Amino acid sequence: MKINILQVIIVLFWSVFLLNSDSYFTPYMVITILAFLSFYINNKEKIVGGGIDNKQKRLLKVSAWIFSFIIVAANYSIILDATSPDYAPETFIQLYRFFLFIIMCSGSYIVAWNILYLLERKTENFCWEKNIQRIPPLVIFLISFIIILIIDITILFTCKYPGNLTPDSLSQIAQVFSGNYSNHHPFYHTMVIKLFVNAGLKIFGNINAAVAFYHVFQICFMAMCFSTAMFTLYEMGISLKLIIVTVIWYAIMPFNIMYSFTMWKDVMFGGFVLVFLVFIYRILKDIGKYKFFNYVIFVFSSLGMCLFRSNGFFAYVITFICFAIFFYKTKRNVCFIFAGIILTAFLMKHFALDRLGVSQTDTIEALSVPLQQISKVIVKHNDFNSDDMALLEQIVDVSAVSETYSPWISDPMKSLVRSKGNQQYIVDNKFAFIKLYIKTGLKHPLTYIEAWVDETRGFWNGGYNYWRWSDSIYENEFGIKRTINSEKANNLFNVYLWLFSDNRFLQLFLCIGFYVWADMFLCFASIARKDKTGIFMAIPVLAIIVSLLISTPVYAEFRYAYSVFCSLPFVIFAVFYKGEVAVNG
Please name the helix (run of DSSP H) or strand (run of DSSP E) that holds residue 6, with its range, or none. helix 2-17
Q: Is the pLDDT of residue 585 over 50?
A: no
Coil/strand/helix, residue 290: coil
Per-residue b/e over 335-366, b at no fewer than 16 CB within 10 Å? eebbeebbebbeeebeeebeeeebebebbbbb
pLDDT per position as a tens digit, 350-380: 999 999 999 888 888 889 999 999 999 999 9
- How confident is the model over 86-111, as a mean pLDDT? 85
Summarised one tens digit per residue, pLDDT across range 4-59 is 788 889 999 999 999 999 999 999 999 999 999 998 887 776 555 555 677 888 88
- Give per-residue pLDDT as tens, 411-429: 999 999 999 888 899 999 9
Report yes or no: 340 and 316 within 8 Å, Cβ to Cβ: no
The pLDDT of residue 124 is: 65
CB-based contacts of 483: which residues, under 8 Å, 6+ apart?
A: 161, 162, 208
Three-state SS for 406?
Answer: strand
- Give, rounded to a whole angstrom, the gap between the first and last alpha carbons of the chain: 54
Judge whether residue 180 has pLDDT over 80. yes
Task: Indicate the residue type of 284.
Answer: L
Per-residue pLDDT band for 583 (boundaries 50, 70, 90) equals very low
For residue 465, the one-letter residue type is N
Rounded Cα gap, residues 60 and 527, in angstroms = 10
Judge residue 299's burial from the number of C-beta atoms within 10 Å of its C-beta, 0-12 exposed, 13-18 middle, 19 or more buried. middle
Range list of H helices, 461-558:
487-502, 512-528, 532-549
**Alpha helices, DSSP H only, in 286-428?**
291-307, 310-327, 332-349, 351-356, 368-380, 386-393, 401-404, 411-420, 424-428
Residue at 455: amino acid letter: E
Query: Is the whole model's pTM more than 0.85, yes or no?
Result: yes
The per-residue pLDDT for range 104-123, each reduced to its tens digit, is: 999 999 999 999 988 887 76
- Give φ, ψ of 323 to 5 degrees: -60, -45
Give the pLDDT confidence score for residue 101 in this predicted structure: 94
* Gap between the Cα atoms of 223 and 246, Å rounded: 13
Which ranges of 135-206 does DSSP label H, i.e. alpha helix? 137-158, 167-178, 187-204
pLDDT of residue 125: 62
Q: Which residues contact 537 (CB under 8 A, 6 or more apart)?
A: 277, 281, 522, 526, 571, 574, 575
Let me know: does 282 contact 294? Beta carbons within 8 Å: yes
By residue count, the chain amounts to: 585
> For residues 254 and 164, what is the distance between their CA atoms, to the nearest angstrom?
14
pLDDT of 1 over the 60 cut: no
Tens digit of each residue's pLDDT (9 = 90 or more) over 227-242 = 999 999 999 989 899 9
- The Cα angle at residue 108 between residues 106 and 110, in degrees rounded to 5: 65
d(CA 3, CA 9): 10
Residue type, 103: I
Residue 577 backbone phi and psi in degrees, to 5: -80, 135
Q: Which helix (H) or strand (E) holds 530?
A: none
